[in-house]
């Protein structure tokens, strides 16, 4: 059985893109692998959240994970900062990570551009912490999006370097696992590009039906087809892509035919789409609310997850310390 590790930073609510682009496959993977799914709340500190917000952000993402069906009875679900062993491995790996290679990382260069006032060392060593997250459980597979592939390559490099340096075959080199074609990249409602947490173009799993209807009714379309069988414009294609994951085949067919015959009414299409999104996401929203209200359940999940994650992590740390040459005085 393969070991799978994946994390998500606690910096914003989950949206439909997260669900159909990743979580749906976590649900499938959790049955077939030894999975560790965690909330990356050390990583979240790179953007300096306020102490008053930090806990709530973590709790929200955790509740959303669980509401989607990630099952803590099957997978190990935990909070990164509950496993201080990760911080120790991060420290140890930092000794063999070179400033030059870290500075060349695309995500770091992007941060320099986007937040020139806060280029902290945590951002520079972000890939080292991520590597520690992964190899501390000796993962083989890491389900991540395309934007994380370079970080995964660095993880493999740090694992390989450790093995070479100490002449051991200790850490496996994990592969990025991006699900093949099964997952759909969900576009935003603004006509172009993908759904994001901060782009203002997303539908969140925690959105109320009223919010969803309002957002969908405001989605960008075009001025309507002018000749039969005209190609779909990008904004229209995007709405049909969202339909493809929430609506019945017959609904999609109906509106495609209406478009082809120039009889389509975008208002009707949007109304239907909004209802189908609500039908999919409302049970999740209700569960999010229930789970958020159940502190006893959440604290049990977190405590059990931390215990399982620490068991695996402390075994690795103990062995790593031995490999590096730390010995007991006796």
Q: What is the binding site for ligand TRP (CB under 6 A)?
A: 5-9, 40, 43, 130, 133-134, 142, 144, 148, 151
Q: Measured from the CB atom, is 40 or 89 closer to ligand TRP?
A: 40
**68 vs 134, which CB is nearer to ligand TRP?**
134
Which C-beta is closer to ligand TRP: that of 35 or that of 278? 35
To ligand TRP, the closest distance from the beta carbon of 184 in angstroms equals 18
Does residue 157 carry a catalytic annotation? no
- Per the annotation, the verdict on 24 as an active-site residue is no
* Residue tagged active-site, from 138, 157, 185, 197: 197
Identified catalytic residue from 59, 111, 141, 270: 111
How is 218-249 classified by DSSP, letter by letter? T----S---STTPPPPHHHHHHHHHHHHHS-H
Catalytic pick from 109, 181, 185, 194? 194
C-alpha angle 232-235-236 in degrees, rounded to nearest 5: 40
**Comparison of 70 and 142: residue with beta carbon closer to ligand TRP:** 142
Query: 75 — alpha (psi -120 to 50), left (phi > 0) or beta?
Result: beta
Q: Return the residue nearest ligand TRP (CB atom).
A: 7
Q: Shortest approach of ligand TRP to residue 5 CB, angstroms?
A: 5
* 111 included as an active-site residue: yes
Nearer to ligand TRP, 14 or 144 (CB): 144
Place of tokens 């060593």: 125
CA dihedral for 171, 172, 178, 179, sign (positive or negative): negative
> For residues 151 and 215, which CB has a smaller minimum distance to ligand TRP in the complex?
151
- CB-based contacts of 161: which residues, under 8 Å, 6+ apart? 96
Query: 119 and 111 in contact (C-beta within 8 Å)?
Result: yes
Question: What's the closest the beta carbon of residue 111 comes to ligand TRP, in angstroms?
Answer: 12
Count of CB atoms within 10 A of residue 140's CB?
Answer: 18
SS3 7: strand
Smallest gap, in angstroms, from Cβ of residue 59 to ligand TRP? Answer: 18
Q: Exposed e or buried b for every residue in 46-83, given b needs 16+ CB within 10 A? A: beebeeeeeeebbbbbbbbbbbbebebeebbbbbbbbb
- Select from 273, 310, 298, 308 the least CA-distant residue to 64: 298
- The nearest distance, CB 198 to ligand TRP, in angstroms, is 13
Q: Is 328 helix (H, G, I), strand (E, B) or coil?
A: coil
The closest of 294, 271, 292, 291 to 221, measured between CA atoms, is 271
Smallest separation (angstroms) from ligand TRP to the CB of 243: 27
Please list the active-site residues: 111, 194, 197
């Amino acid at each position: 059985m393969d070991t799978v590790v994946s994390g998500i930073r606690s910096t914003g609510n989950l949206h439909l893109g997260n669900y159909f682009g990743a979580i749906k496959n976590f649900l499938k993977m959790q049955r077939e692998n030894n999975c560790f799914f965690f909330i990356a709340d050390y990583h979240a500190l790179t953007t300096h959240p306020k102490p008053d917000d930090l806990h709530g952000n973590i709790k929200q993402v955790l509740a959303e994970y669980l509401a989607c069906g990630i099952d803590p009875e099957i997978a190990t679900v935990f909070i990164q900062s509950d496993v201080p062993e990760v911080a120790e491995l991060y420290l140890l790996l930092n000794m063999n990570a070179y400033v030059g290679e870290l500075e060349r990382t695309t995500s770091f260069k992007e941060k320099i551009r986007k937040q020139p006032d806060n280029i902290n060392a945590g951002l520079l060593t972000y890939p080292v912490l991520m590597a520690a997250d992964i190899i501390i459980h000796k993962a083989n597979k890491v389900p991540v999006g395309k934007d994380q592939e370079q970080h995964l390559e660095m993880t493999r490099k740090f694992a390989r370097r450790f093995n070479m340096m100490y002449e051991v075959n200790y850490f496996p080199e994990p592969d990025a696992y991006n699900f093949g074609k099964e997952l759909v990249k969900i576009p935003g409602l603004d006509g172009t590009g993908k759904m994001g947490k901060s782009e203002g173009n997303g539908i969140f799993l925690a959105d109320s039906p009223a919010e969803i209807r309002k957002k969908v009714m405001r989605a960008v379309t075009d001025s309507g087809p002018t000749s039969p069988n005209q190609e779909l414009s990008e904004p229209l294609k995007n709405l049909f892509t969202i339909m493809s994951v929430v609506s019945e085949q017959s609904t999609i067919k109906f509106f495609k035919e209406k478009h082809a015959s120039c009889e389509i009414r975008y208002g009707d299409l949007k109304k239907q789409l909004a209802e189908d999104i609500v039908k999919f996401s409302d049970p999740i929203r209700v569960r999010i609310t229930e789970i958020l209200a159940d502190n006893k359940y959440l604290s049990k999940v977190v405590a059990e997850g931390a215990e399982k994650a620490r068991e695996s992590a402390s075994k690795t740390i103990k062995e790593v310390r031995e490999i590096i040459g730390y010995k007991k005085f006796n």
